[in-house]
Amino acid sequence: MRDYYEFYNPVKIIAGKNSIALNLGKELKNLGCNRVLVVSGPIINKLGLTDYVATAINNSGVKVCGYFTNVPNESSFQTIKDICDIYRLNNCDSLVALGGGSVLDTAKAVKLVLSQNAEDIDSLRGYDMVREGIKIPMILLPTTCGTGAEITRVSVITNDKNNSKEEFLSDNLLPDVCVLDPEMIKTLPLKSVVLTSFDSLSHAVEGFCCGQKNPLSDRYSILAISQIFEYLPKVVEDPDNEEYRLKLLEAANFSGISFGNSMVGAVHAIAHTMGSVLKIGHDYAVSKLLPYVLQYNMEKSKKDYERLFYYVVSLEEYKKVVQENRPQIFVGKIKELYDTTAGKIGGIPTLKECGLKEELFDEIAKKSLLDGAILTNPKYMEIQDIKNVLQMALEEKL
């Protein structure tokens, strides 16, 4: 039995239709904000979402004093410096960021730099390296249903000098409020909904099975997993349904709370490396690896899979399956969900098509072992184990 655990989630969550229009201005006023810097990416800006958010803020009497709408897909130290400069130049007193993982991570890193009154983020790298500093009110608005970045205390930013991904972990990265509004993901392409939902699913499953799991994070994982299994197929059938999209946005939030208070495992350790070697999206890499890593971990996670199986099938189907088969069928259900939803959206490229080949296995395996997430994977992994998983993922054979 574990000796003790920790759970921390001080973020206010507001969710629902029109929640931005109805609440954003009020929340900013409650935080004592008058001059906001809005941060987003070029695509979000083009879709008119930045204007939508700015209008909601201005209508409440709080002023938008600056914009940074060019956060790239792979955010960098220089981007953070540029945003901090704009914040200081315009005398802003708060941040509102809308976007996917990259934008939200960028905003979190900006908050960290500003709170410490630092020149740049380089000096703040690593885990828990900073104490509480200047209060910088921040509200995050996710526009994908995957990362959970709006509720986690980690930010991943590319170091421009050596092109490596650096992790920053601190309670100072957490926002004051996050708002889950289906308006933000109304126009998200179905392919992105599927892939980001699998990122969210992997957070939840890995959070449930990892070495740092605890009773509270487990409940959030279960909520997220059951919601994804229920609503992802529904969204694929009825893409314009706002309620279904909101459910997936919520599930991503629950997954974020779960893994933010437990950890992830080998899926993420390998996906991080695979992503930088093959230059593929994180959500794509994770969705491709998930069933194969779960299969590898079967020996150690049988009981966890058996428990999760209850939440992904109907009661009738659950009763029909004998206990000893439930873990394997659970892993099969994950693969089935991916194959079904991918099939219905016209297919997703294979890892082979994206450039994965056996010659790269050694490099990916060695770098994956340096990722902290490998420590909390339920089953110990060495280089050959990672290569075996990559082989399974390449051949798409469970």
Partner 1 sequence: MKRTFFNIVTKFSFDYMSKGLSTLYKYDKKVKEQFDNIPSGTNIRVSVYGTPNVLTIKKIDNKVITYKKAEQPSSVDLEIIFKFSSSLPKILNGSNSVTQAYNNKEFCVKGDLRYAMALVFSIERFMGYLLPKKRYKEKYNRDAVLVMPKIKMFNYLLFSRRVTK
The residue ranges that bind partner 1 (CB under 8 A) are: 2-6, 125-129, 167, 210-212, 369-372, 374-376, 379-380, 382
Distance CA 221, CA 279 (A): 29
Give min distance, CB of 271 to partner 1, in A.
Answer: 16
Residue nearer to partner 1 on the CB measure, 2 or 319: 2
Residue nearer to partner 1 on the CB measure, 5 or 310: 5
Give min distance, CB of 108 to partner 1, in A.
Answer: 17
Let me know: does 18 contact 183? Beta carbons within 8 Å: yes
Residue nearer to partner 1 on the CB measure, 6 or 316: 6
C-alpha angle 345/72/235, rounded to 5°? Answer: 25
> What is the number of alpha carbons within 13 Å of residue 272 lying toward its C-beta?
21
Distance CA 29, CA 250 (A): 25
Give min distance, CB of 290 to partner 1, in A.
Answer: 21
Distance CA 114, CA 116 (A): 5
Distance CA 275, CA 250 (A): 26
Give min distance, CB of 377 to partner 1, in A.
Answer: 9
At 381, phi and psi to the nearest 5? -130, 140
Give min distance, CB of 5 to partner 1, in A.
Answer: 7
Distance CA 254, CA 222 (A): 9
Distance CA 42, CA 99 (A): 10
Give min distance, CB of 6 to partner 1, in A.
Answer: 6
At 346, phi and psi to the nearest 5? 90, 15
Question: What residues pair up with 303 in beta bridges, in sequence order?
Answer: none
The amino acid that residue 336 corresponds to is E
Local structure of residue 372 (DSSP, 8 states): G
Residue nearer to partner 1 on the CB measure, 45 or 172: 172
Residue nearer to partner 1 on the CB measure, 206 or 371: 371
Residue nearer to partner 1 on the CB measure, 156 or 188: 156
In angstroms, the Cα distances linking 17 to 22, 28, 41, 172, 244 are: 9, 19, 23, 29, 12
Q: Tokens for 283?
A: 């959500």
- Distance between first and last Cα of the chain: 32
Distance CA 70, CA 39 (A): 8
Q: Which of 359, 368, 360 has the alpha carbon at shortest distance from 386?
A: 368
Give min distance, CB of 263 to partner 1, in A.
Answer: 8
Give min distance, CB of 207 to partner 1, in A.
Answer: 13
Residue nearer to partner 1 on the CB measure, 310 or 380: 380
Residue nearer to partner 1 on the CB measure, 345 or 369: 369
Question: What residues pair up with 138 in beta bridges, in sequence order?
Answer: 95
Give min distance, CB of 101 to partner 1, in A.
Answer: 19
Residue nearer to partner 1 on the CB measure, 131 or 352: 131
